[in-house]
Amino acid sequence: MADSVHRPPAVGHAIIALHDPVRGREAAFNAWYEADHMLAAGTMAPWTIGGMRWVADRDLKALRYPADGPFGPATRGSFMMLFWIQRDRLAEQQAWVTEAMADIAVQDRNFADREAVTATTYDFSRSVSRETDGVPPVLALAHHFPGAVLLVVERTADGSVAALGDWLLDTYLAPRLAGSPVALVTAFAPRPKEAWWPAAYPEVEGVGERLFVVCFTDTDPRECWATHFAPLGDALAASGTGRVLLAAPFVPAPVGRTTTPESLW
């Protein structure tokens, strides 16, 4: 057995995906994704630490800003999927997923009535926690936090991603964590287009320019939106280090239950 097998579990990579079902097919999409696709092409893969689904209804989407961003209108992406992957094992994990997806396609188990707003791979950058003995990043998805906020931020033309991360995590968020519902902040950097992706796949946008930050909250994110996240766009712009491309709150997608279709739109 290779020595690397015995390394402690650690988040090294993530898959962050946003999806929308075709209107009228919400229940079918939800059942397919959670009971088949999430397992057979995700959490069953070797080196996958965990996965969790999140949803944003109409009221949560109304909080998103700016109105348009890297994925088009901010209202796109009702469901967010997060997968954590063991450090230095992404290639092996994705090779298994690629083979599984081929088998799934042969069995006609894909679901056409959906829009993949984005679904790509990221490298773990860093994190900040509210408590020194709080939930570590490796257990963030297993903890089932009641809320999550996805922040997509981009550096200024003459700035750096490192400076952007320092300002966002250390200058802005870290001082606001004590006594707040925001328990853990994890930052990821988009990876270049993988060598095993089909040639027709587009290049990954934002490599070397953006961070995708997931903030986990102990409450519904609406309860801390006005204090922690609504002011972030203006504060980041004023800092001169970057801008917010998307700020989007989510709550956990109920397992084994369909989301009320009308609530999404």
| pLDDT tens, residue by residue, 82-121 | 999 999 999 999 999 999 999 999 999 999 999 999 989 9
pLDDT of residue 1: 45
pLDDT of residue 263: 85
Contact 183, 134 (CB under 8 A): yes
Q: Coil, helix or strand for 70?
A: coil
Handedness of CA 82, 88, 94, 97 (dihedral sign): negative
Structure token pair of residue 4: 């690397």
Q: Domain locations in the chain?
A: 3-256
pLDDT of residue 48: 98
| Res. 53: pLDDT tops 90 | yes
Q: How many CA atoms lie within 13 A of 224 on its CB side?
A: 25
Is CATH 3.30.300 correct for 3-256? no
Angle at 79 between CA 123 and CA 101, to 5 degrees: 65
> How far is residue 12 from each of residues 6, 15, 88, 119, 186, measured CA to CA in Å?
15, 11, 6, 17, 11
pLDDT band at residue 205 using 50, 70 and 90 as cut-offs: confident
Q: What is the mean pLDDT of residues 196-218?
A: 84
Strands 147-155, 210-217: pairing kind? antiparallel
pLDDT of residue 201: 66
Beta strands in 75-209 (DSSP E): 79-86, 114-129, 147-155, 182-190
Side chain identity at 177, as an amino acid letter?
Answer: L
pLDDT of residue 194: 75
pLDDT of residue 202: 67
Q: What is the mean pLDDT of residues 199-224?
A: 89
| Range of weakest confidence among 53-57, 87-91, 205-209 | 205-209
> How far is residue 61 from each of residues 3, 22, 239, measured CA to CA in Å?
46, 17, 26
Contact 58, 263 (CB under 8 A): yes
